[in-house]
């Protein structure tokens, strides 16, 4: 093992925690609309290589499956992407902003530390609704969806707007070849409403393991290490990732979590209509498919077009699938988000 890897591994306190066996169920909710938005600017691997010293465009595609990603315009930020995704979702569903009575936004790249991005979106859409952010990084959408589902299932919300949005290009060092090519910007939204008792989250788990928090972190800019000129000079305000260890953790955790959720639902892996995993790296999705003994075409993917869009990736790929007409009522979708925290959220959703 090379020295850098052994040093970073030594910084990971435990990370031995097994995947929790806690699973819950929440029926009576349904997704009645989806929407998404990505910025217009496309940055190809070749363009990425031109700005990152030592970056090889073929390496990016071979090691991640990513060919290009979208980059927000200078005047665009997370709330702008979120608003556009929400507007598309409402328009496609034929619903009005005035119908929404709850807004939950999953993001780890908020416009500001305060106020929340959700409040900015609420104002722009003119919603009469409580609005709050959920910060669970790349699991942000799964956390936001599951949170909103509780309100809908209890009758405390009739139409919840759930958004996953991230403007990652603002928090990664665009000249660092080890991280810049991996991430992109985007947003996805779903509308959640009461459903039949056959629809909803047949089984789900939300989980966390903070012992691995430093595997994927932004050190400076919070109350522990406030932003200082020194911190900015040393790049501590940027996202850093122990990629190799996160990769191994992700493949193991996602596979085990899917198995636990399916077992709890009394279903086999072959009963699932579609697998919708967080789009971080095509090799992670392929490795999970292989471990589960499933053909790769059972898994949605668009990481080649957008890279890792964090909380946006699941609703983005879901919206593409809905637009392509590949999801029918009664289908079972196995959705799984995973990332910094460490966090993960896995749901078997009956559409
Ligand atoms: O969304 C939240 C969760 N995030 C993830 O799930 C991401 C998980 N991790 C990964 O996807 C992968 O670990 C990475 C894509 C980040 C890295 O892939 P890898 O196959 O684990 O590569 P590596 O980090 O082991 O790097 C292999 C080599 C290194 O060179 P040395 O040390 O062997 O000389 C890197 O410096 O590849 C080098 N390298 C590059 N070379 C050309 C790293 N980035 C590049 C690049 N171009 N862009």
For residue 55, indicate whether it is catalytic. no
Surface-to-core class of residue 21, CB atoms within 10 Å of its CB (0-12 exposed, 13-18 middle, 19+ buried): exposed
Q: What is the C-alpha separation between 279 and 301, in angstroms, rounded?
A: 7
Please say whether the beta carbons of 342 and 332 come within 8 A.
no
Three-state DSSP at 12 gives coil
Pocket test for ligand 1, best of 51, 212, 243 (most atoms within 8 A of CB): 243
Report H helices in the chain.
3-10, 45-51, 57-64, 78-93, 117-125, 140-153, 229-233, 243-265, 282-292, 303-306, 313-323
Q: Could you write out the three-class secondary structure of 85-97? A: HHHHHHHHHCCCH
Of 278, 281, 301, 336, the active-site residue reads 278
Q: Give me the half-sphere count of Cα atoms (radius 13 Å) on the Cβ side of residue 315.
A: 41
Q: Which DSSP symbol is given to 58?
A: H
Cα(122) to centroid of ligand 1, in Å?
Answer: 38
Alpha carbon distance, N-terminus to C-terminus of the chain: 45
Share of the chain above pLDDT 70, in %: 95
207 C-alpha to ligand 1 centroid (Å): 26
- Whose C-alpha lies nearest to ligand 1, atom 20? 63
Cα 55 from Cα 176, distance rounded (Å): 8
The residues lining ligand 1, judged by C-beta closer than 6 Å to any ligand atom, are: 55-56, 59-60, 63-64, 138, 177-178, 181-182, 243-244, 246-247, 250, 280-281, 284, 308, 339
- Tell me the pLDDT of the chain (351 aa) as tens digits: 344 444 444 454 445 567 888 999 999 999 999 999 999 999 999 999 999 999 999 999 999 999 999 999 999 999 999 999 999 999 999 999 999 999 999 999 999 999 999 999 999 999 999 999 999 999 999 999 999 999 999 999 999 999 999 999 999 999 999 999 999 999 999 999 999 999 999 999 999 999 999 999 999 999 999 999 999 999 999 999 999 999 999 999 999 999 999 999 999 999 999 999 999 999 999 999 999 999 999 999 999 999 999 999 999 999 999 999 999 999 999 999 999 999 999 999 999
Q: Probe ligand 1: pick from 51, 61, 63, 68, max atoms within 8 Å of CB?
A: 63
8 Å CB contact between 336 and 278: yes
Tell me the C-alpha distance between 149 and 350, whole Å: 13
DSSP notation for 191-239? EEEE--TTSEEEEEEEEE-GGGGGGEE--TTSSSS---HHHHHTTTTS-
Give distance in angstroms: CA of 178 to centre of ligand 1: 6
Q: Which residue has the tokens 């039949």?
A: 196
Catalytic residue among 281, 308, 322, 336: 308
pLDDT, one tens digit per residue, over 76-112 is: 999 999 999 999 999 999 999 999 999 999 999 999 9
Q: Of the residues 138, 167, 322, 336, which is catalytic?
A: 138
| pTM of the complete model | 0.94
Q: What spacing in Å lies between the alpha carbon of 252 and ligand 1's midpoint?
A: 18
Condensed to tens digits (0 to 9), the pLDDT of residues 130-159 reads 999 999 999 999 999 999 999 999 999 999
182 alpha carbon – ligand 1 mean position (Å): 9
Residue 308 among the catalytic residues: yes
Collect all residues with Cβ–Cβ distance below 8 Å to 221 and sequence separation of at least 6: 113, 227, 231, 237
H/E run at residue 314: helix 313-323
pLDDT recorded at residue 19: 83
Exposed (0-12), middle (13-18) or buried (19+): which is 67, by Cβ within 10 Å?
middle
Q: Is the dihedral of CA 279, 283, 287, 290 positive or negative?
A: positive
Query: Exposure of 266 by Cβ count < 10 A (0-12 exposed, 13-18 middle, 19+ buried)?
Result: exposed
* Tokens (6 digits) for 71: 């980059």
Based on the residue annotation, tell me whether 278 is a catalytic residue of this protein. Answer: yes
Q: What is the pLDDT of residues 326-349, one digit of tens each?
A: 999 999 999 999 999 999 999 999
Of 54, 137, 121, the closest CA to residue 89 belongs to 121
Write down the pLDDT at residue 4: 42
What is the SS3 assignment for 182?
helix
Which pairing describes strands 200-208 and 343-350: parallel, antiparallel, or unpaired? antiparallel
Compute the distance between CA of residue 327 and CA of residue 324 in angstroms, rounded to an integer.
8
Kindly report the protein residue whose alpha carbon is nearest to atom 2 of ligand 1: 339
- Minimum-distance ligand 1 atom for the alpha carbon of 340: 2
Q: CA-CA distance, 286 to 251, in Å (whole number)?
A: 9
Q: Give strand pairing partners of 44.
A: 68
């Amino acid at each position: 093992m090379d020295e850098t890897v052994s040093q970073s591994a030594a910084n990971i306190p435990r990370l031995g925690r097994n995947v929790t066996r806690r699973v819950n169920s929440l029926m009576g909710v349904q997704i009645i609309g989806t929407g998404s938005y990505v910025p217009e600017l496309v940055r190809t691997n070749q363009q990425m290589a031109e700005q990152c010293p030592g970056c090889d465009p073929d390496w990016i595609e071979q090691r991640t499956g990513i060919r290009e990603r979208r980059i927000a315009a200078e005047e665009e930020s997370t709330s702008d992407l979120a608003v556009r995704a929400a507007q598309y979702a409402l328009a496609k569903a034929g619903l009005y902003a005035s119908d929404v009575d709850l807004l939950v936004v999953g993001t780890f790249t908020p416009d500001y530390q305060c106020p929340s991005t959700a409040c900015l979106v609420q104002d722009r859409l003119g919603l009469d609704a409580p609005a709050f952010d959920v910060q669970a990084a790349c699991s942000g959408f799964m956390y936001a969806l599951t949170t909103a589902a509780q309100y809908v299932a209890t009758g405390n919300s009739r139409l919840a707007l759930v958004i996953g949005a991230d403007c990652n290009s603002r928090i990664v060092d665009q000249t660092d070849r080890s991280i810049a090519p991996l991430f992109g910007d985007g947003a996805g939204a779903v509308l959640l409403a009461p459903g039949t008792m056959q629809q909803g989250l047949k089984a789900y788990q939300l989980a966390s393991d903070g012992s691995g928090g430093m595997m994927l972190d932004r050190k400076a800019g919070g109350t522990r290490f406030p932003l200082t000129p020194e911190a900015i000079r040393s790049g501590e305000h940027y996202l850093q990732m122990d990629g190799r260890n996160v990769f191994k953790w992700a493949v193991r955790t996602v596979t085990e979590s899917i198995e636990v959720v399916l077992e709890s639902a009394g279903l086999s892996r072959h009963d699932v209509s579609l697998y919708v995993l967080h789009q971080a790296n095509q090799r992670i999705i392929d490795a999970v498919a292989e471990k589960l003994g499933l053909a790769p075409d059972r898994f949605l993917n668009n990481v080649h077009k957008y890279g890792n869009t964090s909380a946006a990736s699941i609703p983005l790929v879901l919206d593409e699938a809905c637009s392509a007409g590949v999801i029918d009522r009664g289908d079972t979708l196995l959705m799984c988000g995973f990332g910094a925290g460490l966090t993960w959220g896995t749901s078997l959703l009956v559409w």
